[in-house]
């Protein structure tokens, strides 16, 4: 070994703590623990039989050798066409030149700072925001500036204040990072009125918006709010999508929709990152969209998750002591729980593990370290019975700390 390996690593990696989620997940993966910590889709939601059939068809067709060969960096042409078609129905004014396939959304969250961030550049994000986004941006030396959410998502008044203050210092963020639908971790959806306010502010301050929307198609109730991209359609918005929550995360397929100039830079960045996303899994996804099974299957997943959410909400009402509140999401995988002010979710965590239940600390989603009395709960992965039993256990742990 070289004499001092620690000095060979660069500044960015040396500054990284081991990922909070990764370390916590290890603890929560003990078999006796009911874990609300992960963000995993339910295995019941995977269309195994349909996929088996589709893969056999691919192997029996001339697509087989294309599926096993290198593909283009932009992604499978047919898959891109199908996705563009879907989005055009949602009012997005785009063509295939506006869409690149990525190795799931996480790669999109890595490629964005790779083309936009010089160390010290700023990004605005919600308080709270998806940890995987914050971490990816941080790896490139981005400084996160948090803006609080209310029940309609990122507060536009605080966003405008923040941008004005930055402007006074001659600063401008590289983009505003938002998760408008069933926000991870907060479970909140931005109504169109708030989306419009954010767009107006972005236009006024000449700033890009990143719309990260992995859960958009998982709406259980209420009506869909237009995509920020569709409401803007002027190239101010970069939208991220993924098959991870609506088909299978094991395929690692996501995409970015943006102005062609941005897609072009993303292609250049992706080429050195992994050359191309697996053409094999892209061909599977394309056929899955083509067959029309997809929309039927989506209904099945939504019914399943609606039921799981309802069961968790009922259990929360029944078992949680006074002073504890939570969001009631219209879709997605998560709800967000707020403890009384005087409680610390970090201190509670080990007590919860003793009760054999796990969650993720809300504070890890807050770039300013706030949110210490909050936690994220996933309702999609555990069985219905475990969702009830887990909430009982969590309520027990919390009750012991009520003053």
Q: Give 71 or 329: the residue with its C-beta nearer to its own copies.
A: 71
- Binding of its own copies at residue 273 (CB under 8 A)? yes
- Binding of its own copies at residue 64 (CB under 8 A)? yes
**Choices 8-16, 181-189, 309-317, 382-390; region in contact with its own copies by CB under 8 A:** 8-16
Q: How many residues bind its own copies (CB under 8 A)?
A: 81
Per-residue contact string for residues 126-155; x = within reach of its own copies by CB under 8 A: ------x--xx--x----------------
Q: Give 117 or 395: the residue with its C-beta nearer to its own copies.
A: 117
Q: Give 134 or 398: the residue with its C-beta nearer to its own copies.
A: 134
Q: How far is the CB of 17 from its own copies (least distance, A)?
A: 9
* Interaction residues for its own copies, span 162-181 (CB under 8 A): 174
Of the candidate residues 79, 159, 201, 208, the single one contacting its own copies (CB under 8 A)? 208
Q: How far is the CB of 4 from its own copies (least distance, A)?
A: 8
* Interaction residues for its own copies, span 23-62 (CB under 8 A): 38, 40-41, 43, 46, 48, 51-52, 55-56, 59-60
Per-residue contact string for residues 79-118; x = within reach of its own copies by CB under 8 A: ------------------------xx-xx-xx---xxxxx
* Neighbouring residues of 71: CB distance < 8 A, sequence distance ≥ 6: 276, 277, 278, 279, 282
Q: How far is the CB of 292 from its own copies (least distance, A)?
A: 20
């Amino acid at each position: 070994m070289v004499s001092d390996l620690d000095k060979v690593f660069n500044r960015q990696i040396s500054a990284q703590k081991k990922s909070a989620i990764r370390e916590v997940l290890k603890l929560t993966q003990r078999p006796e623990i009911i874990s609300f910590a992960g963000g995993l889709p339910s295995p019941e939601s995977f269309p195994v039989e349909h996929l088996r059939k589709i893969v056999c068809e691919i192997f029996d067709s001339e697509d087989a050798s294309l599926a096993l060969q290198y593909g283009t960096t932009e992604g499978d042409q047919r898959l891109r066409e199908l996705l563009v078609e879907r989005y055009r129905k949602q009012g997005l004014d785009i063509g295939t030149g506006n869409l690149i396939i990525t190795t799931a959304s996480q790669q999109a969250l890595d490629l964005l700072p790779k083309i936009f961030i010089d160390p010290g550049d700023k990004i605005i994000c919600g308080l709270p925001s998806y940890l995987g986004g914050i971490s990816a941006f941080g790896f490139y030396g981005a400084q996160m500036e948090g803006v609080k959410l209310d029940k309609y998502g990122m507060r536009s008044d605080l966003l405008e204040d923040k941008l004005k203050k930055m402007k006074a210092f001659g600063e401008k963020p590289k983009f505003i990072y938002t998760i408008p639908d069933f926000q991870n971790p907060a479970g909140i959806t931005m109504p169109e009125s708030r989306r419009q306010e954010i767009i107006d502010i972005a236009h006024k301050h000449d700033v890009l918006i990143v719309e990260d929307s992995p859960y958009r198609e998982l709406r259980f109730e209420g009506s869909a709010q237009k995509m920020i991209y569709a409401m803007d359609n002027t190239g101010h918005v970069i939208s991220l999508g993924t098959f991870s929550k609506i088909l299978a995360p094991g395929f690692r397929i996501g995409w970015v929709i943006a102005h062609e100039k941005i897609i072009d830079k993303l292609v250049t960045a992706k080429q050195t990152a992994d050359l191309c996303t697996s053409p094999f899994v892209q061909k599977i996804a394309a056929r899955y969209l083509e067959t029309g099974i997809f929309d039927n299957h989506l209904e099945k997943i939504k019914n399943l998750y609606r039921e799981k959410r309802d069961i968790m909400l009922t259990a929360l009402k029944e078992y949680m002591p006074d002073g504890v509140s939570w969001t009631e999401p219209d879709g997605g995988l998560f709800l967000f729980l707020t403890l009384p002010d005087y409680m610390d979710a970090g201190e509670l965590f080990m007590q919860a593990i003793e009760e054999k239940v796990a969650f993720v600390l809300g504070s890890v989603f807050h770039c300013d370290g706030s949110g210490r009395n909050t936690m994220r709960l996933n309702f999609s992965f555990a069985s219905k019975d475990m969702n009830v039993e887990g909430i009982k256990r969590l309520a027990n742990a919390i009750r012991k700390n009520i003053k």
